[in-house]
Amino acid sequence: MPAISVVIPVYQVAAFLPTCLDRVLSDRGCDLEVIAVDDASPDRSGEILDQRAAADSRLRVVHLNRNRGAGNARNAGLDLAVGNYIWFVDADDRVADGALAAISKALAASRPDVLLVDWISSYPGGRTEPNPFCGLLAAVPADGCTLEQQPSLINLTMTAWSKLFRREYLCGLGVRFADGIHEDILVSCAALLEARVIAAIDQVCYQYRRGRTGSAMATTSHAHLAVFDSYRRVFELLAARDAAGAPASPELRSAIFERAIWHYAAVLETTGPGIGRVGLPGLVPREERARFFRRMHEDFAAYRPAGYQHPAGPRGAKLRLVERGAYRTYSLLEPLNQARVALRNRVSGQRSREPGRTRPDS
């Protein structure tokens, strides 16, 4: 039985797929299987996979007969996987050199239900940015923790690629990746919420490609409304825990609530290709933005936990605007918020290159 099953959903990524496969298959740091799921890709991706599988027995290729999205492809790969742990890697991204060896060591040390890994963002032109929440990973004890013990971990990215899951644990949760986009949210939240041991490795293990033309996270689309349904299901999980007599603590409930509203805000405020540049089309179509904000306001009212207190500073000020449904004021302040975030990210990137700090490799 392999230690790790790497599941790669593949759709229209022929330009990036060889590099992704090279990074995974060239790392001999552990025993692994790689399951690549061709989601009826119209380009040469399927052909590339078949050629690589013929040369490397660790790679298994599944060809789906119709395209149903990354979530369905991940589910198909998970159903076939036999490794002790599952890592969902996106085909246009790259696994960092030495990542699998470091991950194997971390898994052996604490045998967690979920292992969180550090990552960097990679932009067209070669610019990189560190994970803005990497400090949360460094704060996880060596023997792991639960989400109740460290509720702030919910602020980490809600992506499948930023975590490894113990396969039997993940399959036992009874949740699946959803169709469409923002499909990672339910699986990520459910896994963190129920885990008895969450471990972390603060070594950069993953390079996430941003701003790729054709990527869902760089495309203006009505489909981004799916983020609301994903969090609705998360709040249903919390309600089910309440009914079972195992409620989340007030601190954790507030952290999940705030994470949801903040995720909505991130989707609303993120521009399309050329993330961070004010004035470009956003992920949410212009004609949908007011309705999207209204949904944010409605969810704030529906899911606000008893005793919730706004955080201090700009974050709290923004959340109060959502609470009041003050879309006009929110929209006027949004360019300032984008400029502030861009400055923070530049400063963070400069600090990561200072002497004595580890600089993520591109």
Instruction: Give per-residue pLDDT as tens, 45-92.
Output: 999 999 999 999 999 999 999 999 999 999 999 999 999 999 999 999
Q: Does a structural domain hold residue 183?
A: yes
DSSP E strands in the chain: the ranges are 4-10, 32-38, 59-63, 85-88, 94-95, 114-122, 128-130, 163-166, 198-209
Q: Extract the tokens encoding 75.
A: 């589910």
Q: Are residues 285 and 187 in the same domain?
A: no
Whether residue 354 has pLDDT greater than 90: no
Cα separation, 35 vs 88, whole angstroms? 10
pLDDT at 214: 59
CA 152 to chain centroid: 15
- Pairwise pLDDT comparison (362 vs 341), residue with the higher score: 341
Q: Are residues 224 and 317 in the same domain?
A: yes
Q: Specify the number of domains making up the chain.
A: 2
Cα separation, 354 vs 362, whole angstroms? 16
Last residue of a domain, one of 210, 234, 252: 210
CB 280 within 8 A of CB 272: yes
Packing angle between helix 250-269 and helix 327-352, nearest 10 degrees?
Answer: 100
DSSP E strands in 89-168: the ranges are 94-95, 114-122, 128-130, 163-166
**What is the rounded average pLDDT of the residues 148-166?**
97
Provide the Cα torsion 22, 28, 29, 32; round to 10°.
80
Q: Are residues 205 and 224 in the same domain?
A: no
